[in-house]
Structure 1
Amino acid sequence: MPITKYSVLAGDPTSGKVVTGASTHYQITMQAPGGPFTVAVNIQSVDGSEVLYDIVENFTPPDLAGLTALPMGMTALKSEPGGLGLDFVRSTVNGAPMITKAQMTLLPQLKAQAKGVSAEEQMVRRARAKALENAVVTLLNMTIADKDGVIYAFGSAFADSGKVDGIHDIHMNQGNPVNNHGGDNGVWQDGALFINLPSKGTWTAVFIAFQTESWNTDSSGNPV
Structure 2
Amino acid sequence: MPLRNYTVLKGKAVDTDIAKSGKPHFEIHIKDDQKHDYRIAVNIESGSRPSEVLYFASENFNSEQITKLPQLNSGFTSITSDNRDIALDYVRGKLFDHTKMIPLPHDKPGANNDLKEKIEGYMDEAMNKNATLYAFGEAWGPEENEPDKYFNFVPGSGIHDIHMNQGNIARWKSDDGIWQDGGILIHFEEENRWVGIFLAFQSQSWCTDSNGHAIKPVKDCSYNNPGH
Same fold (TM over 0.5): yes
Give the 3-state SS of the residue equivalent to 1:102 in structure 2. helix
Query: Is 1:70 aligned to 2:62, yes or no?
Result: no
Q: Which 4+ residue blocks in structure 1 deviate beyond 6 angstroms?
A: none
Query: Is 1:14 aligned to 2:14, yes or no?
Result: yes
1:45-64 correspondence runs (5 A): 45-48=46-49, 49-64=51-66
User: Structure 1: which amino acid aligns with 2:41?
Assistant: A
Normalised to the residue count of structure 2, the TM-score between the two structures is: 0.81
Normalised to the residue count of structure 1, the TM-score between the two structures is: 0.83
Q: 1: distance between equivalents of 2:186 and 2:106?
A: 26
Q: Find the counterpart in structure 2 of residue 187 from structure 1.
A: 178
Cα distance per residue 1:129-174 (max 9 Å; x no partner): 9622111111111111113x10100000011614670000000000
Give the 3-state SS of the residue equivalent to 1:181 in structure 2. helix
What is the aligned-residue RMSD (CA, Å)? 2.2
User: Structure 1: which amino acid aligns with 2:128?
Assistant: A
Give the 3-state SS of the residue equivalent to 2:64 in structure 1. coil
Q: Find the counterpart in structure 2 of residue 121 from structure 1.
A: none
Q: 1: distance between equivalents of 2:20 and 2:82?
A: 34
Residues 43, 51 of structure 1: alpha-carbon distance in 2 compared, 3 angstrom cutoff? same
Identify which of 89, 98, 102 aligns with 1:101.
Answer: 98
Q: Does the Cα contact within 8 Å between 1:154 and 1:192 map onto a contact in 2?
A: yes
Q: 2: distance between equivalents of 1:203 and 1:126?
A: 29
Q: Find the counterpart in structure 2 of residue 198 from structure 1.
A: 189
Q: Find the counterpart in structure 1 of residue 36 from structure 2.
A: 35
Q: Does the Cα contact within 8 Å between 2:44 and 2:106 map onto a contact in 1?
A: no
Q: Find the counterpart in structure 2 of residue 166 from structure 1.
A: 158
Q: Does the Cα contact within 8 Å between 2:112 and 2:118 map onto a contact in 1?
A: no
Q: 2: distance between equivalents of 1:8 and 1:159?
A: 14
Unaligned runs of 5+ in 2: 145-154, 216-228
Q: 2: distance between equivalents of 1:79 and 1:182?
A: 21
Unaligned runs of 5+ in 1: 92-96, 111-124
Q: Find the counterpart in structure 2 of residue 122 from structure 1.
A: none
Q: 2: distance between equivalents of 1:203 and 1:180?
A: 34
Aligned residues: 203
Identity %: 33
Q: 1: distance between equivalents of 2:122 and 2:106?
A: 22
